[in-house]
């Protein structure tokens, strides 16, 4: 294996010949052998978009030669296409400002540009009018917004649509409700599903509400927020360029001192993802409880049998999609703690917990999007109501007695329910034996279809 000498302001260092990075990347590799969590691909792609946009604006303002602008743009396009994914090896556990990842990107772009015959310096040209302190938070924001808009929200919409289909399919199915894990009054299965769907709708609104603040970029703040070494109006021009590249509206943060030190937009947006995780936990738990069985559980619904569920019990099938969703929910809730704590560490003019904040945020968005897609395709699309089982449990429920309360009073109705349960009799038998209501009146009042409200 051959080596070449690379240098930076601290001197020379050896880098493997085939690697495209330079001295600062190599120093980071040698000094931060911590864990195996690499800087997310989304961050690298966001940096490529940013560097391309910055080069274009620097050229437009007469600060960067056209040849260099074209070379930077060409290299960034190849990075966005995934051609050099192995050239960004740095771990999350590095400098808290993300400086080394910024320089990793700068060095790879400069090295590849030179291979194209265009002399390039990673700091003087690729990093022109920028600082790691404004580029890393900018890349974070770009990556976060794109992850929510392009992955998470479409996954939410697909799951909402599938629940709407199930809701329409089950409008005529009446089942027993449950509160406190105990029998309650009846409802339509479609009404139960509508609650799940509404949860996703509210989560979608929360995520969408988080996008405007998350779309405010730190670029133009440079080292401490003053904009030193960046031209006037640079921030707005770069944001416009990024918006044109992505088709997503980005704008400058109006206060760069806020942009560099605060991560409140990430806390707010991740809070929306945590709320989504909580809702998904509830939905997945409901589904696996309702599908419990096949003979000794509730068994009110059936879900797809995707794979064997036991290495020892032949024929056993488990609600594995539900379990995957609930594990994702736990991870997202844990990530929320990390994001919140990282955001609290904005000391003076810079937050230095940005890599861990970005890593956890993007992992949550990725996990939620993947989990919803998997759950929708491999569980919800095959979910079926077990109408016979629902009818059996409905007719056997003691809580149908609730509709007798207006006629005979709460305490009398409660006594009938207790007697039926204690003696193992039907509600109708216990009610008629009480002498408090006639058979005709009981049959007129105890009609589940009249107890579920409007169909819609």
Angle CA 51–52–54, to nearest 5: 60
Any catalytic annotation for residue 180?
A: yes
Q: Burial of 407 by CB count in 10 Å (0-12 exposed, 13-18 middle, 19+ buried)?
A: middle
Can you give 74-97 as a three-state secondary structure string? HHHHHHHCCCCHHHCCCECCCCCC
Pairing of strands 350-351, 346-347: antiparallel
**Of 326, 329, 324, 322, nearest in space to 289 by CA:** 322
Angle CA 364–241–131, to nearest 5: 70
Cβ neighbours around 195 below 10 Å, total: 15
Q: In this structure, are residues 153 and 373 in contact, taking their beta carbons and an 8 Å threshold?
A: no
Structure token digits, residue 360? 């956890």
Catalytic residue among 310, 334, 421, 438: 310
The b-or-e profile of 98-131 (16+ CB within 10 A means b, else e) is bbbbbbbbbbbbbbbbeeeebebebeebbbbbbb
Structure token digits, residue 136? 């890393």
Coil, helix or strand at residue 350: strand
Cβ neighbours around 304 below 10 Å, total: 18
List C-alpha distances in Å: 344 to 263, 269, 339, 357: 8, 15, 9, 11
**Of 102, 115, 52, 114, nearest in space to 80 by CA:** 52
Catalytic residue among 111, 129, 132, 180: 180
List C-alpha distances in Å: 147 to 15, 226, 341, 405: 33, 29, 22, 53
DSSP 203-244: HHHHHHHHHHHHTEE-TT-TTTSS-TTS-TTHHHHHHHHHHH
Any catalytic annotation for residue 310?
A: yes
The b-or-e profile of 216-245 (16+ CB within 10 A means b, else e) is bbbbbbbbbbebeebeeebbebbbbbbbeb
Active-site amino acid positions: 180, 310
């Amino acid at each position: 294996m051959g080596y070449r000498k690379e240098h930076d302001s601290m001197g020379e260092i050896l880098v493997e010949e085939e690697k495209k990075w330079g001295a600062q990347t190599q120093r980071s590799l040698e000094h931060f052998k911590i864990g195996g969590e690499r800087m997310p691909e989304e961050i690298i792609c966001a940096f490529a978009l940013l560097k391309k946009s910055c080069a274009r604006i620097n050229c437009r303002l007469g600060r960067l030669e056209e040849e260099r602008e074209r070379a930077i743009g060409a290299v960034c396009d190849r990075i966005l296409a995934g051609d050099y994914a192995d050239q960004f090896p740095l771990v999350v556990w590095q400098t808290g400002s993300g400086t080394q990842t910024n320089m990793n990107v700068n060095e790879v772009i400069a090295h590849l540009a030179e291979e194209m015959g265009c002399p390039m310096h990673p700091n003087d040209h690729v990093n022109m009018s920028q600082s790691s302190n404004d580029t890393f938070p900018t890349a974070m924001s770009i990556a976060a917004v794109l992850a929510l808009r392009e992955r998470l929200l479409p996954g939410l919409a697909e799951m909402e649509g599938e629940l709407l289909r199930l809701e329409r399919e089950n409008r005529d199915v009446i089942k027993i409700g449950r509160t406190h894990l105990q029998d309650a009054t009846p409802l339509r299965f479609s009404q139960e599903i509508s609650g799940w769907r509404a949860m996703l709708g509210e989560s979608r609104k929360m995520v969408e509400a988080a996008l405007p603040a998350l779309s405010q970029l730190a670029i133009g703040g440079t080292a401490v927020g003053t904009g030193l070494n960046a031209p006037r109006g640079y921030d707005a021009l770069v944001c416009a360029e990024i918006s044109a590249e992505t088709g997503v509206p980005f704008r400058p943060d109006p206060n760069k001192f806020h942009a560099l030190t605060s991560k409140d937009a990430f806390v707010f947006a991740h809070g929306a993802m945590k709320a989504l995780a909580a809702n998904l936990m509830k939905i997945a738990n409901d589904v696996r409880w309702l599908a419990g069985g096949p003979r000794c559980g509730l068994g009110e619904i059936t879900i797809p049998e995707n794979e064997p569920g036991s290495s020892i019990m032949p024929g056993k099938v488990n609600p594995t999609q539900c379990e995957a969703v609930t594990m994702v929910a736990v991870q997202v809730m844990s990530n929320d703690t990390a994001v919140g704590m990282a955001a609290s560490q904005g000391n003076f003019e810079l937050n230095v917990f940005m890599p861990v904040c970005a890593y956890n945020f993007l992992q949550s968005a990725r996990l939620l999007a993947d989990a919803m897609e998997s759950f929708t395709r491999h569980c919800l699309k095959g979910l079926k109501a077990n109408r016979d089982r629902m009818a059996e449990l409905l007719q056997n429920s003691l809580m149908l007695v609730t509709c007798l309360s207006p006629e005979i009073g709460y305490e009398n109705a409660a006594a009938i329910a207790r007697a039926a349960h204690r003696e193992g009799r039907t509600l109708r038998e216990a009610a008629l034996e009480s002498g408090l209501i006639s058979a005709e009146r009981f049959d007129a009042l105890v009609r589940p279809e009249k107890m579920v409200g409007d169909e819609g």
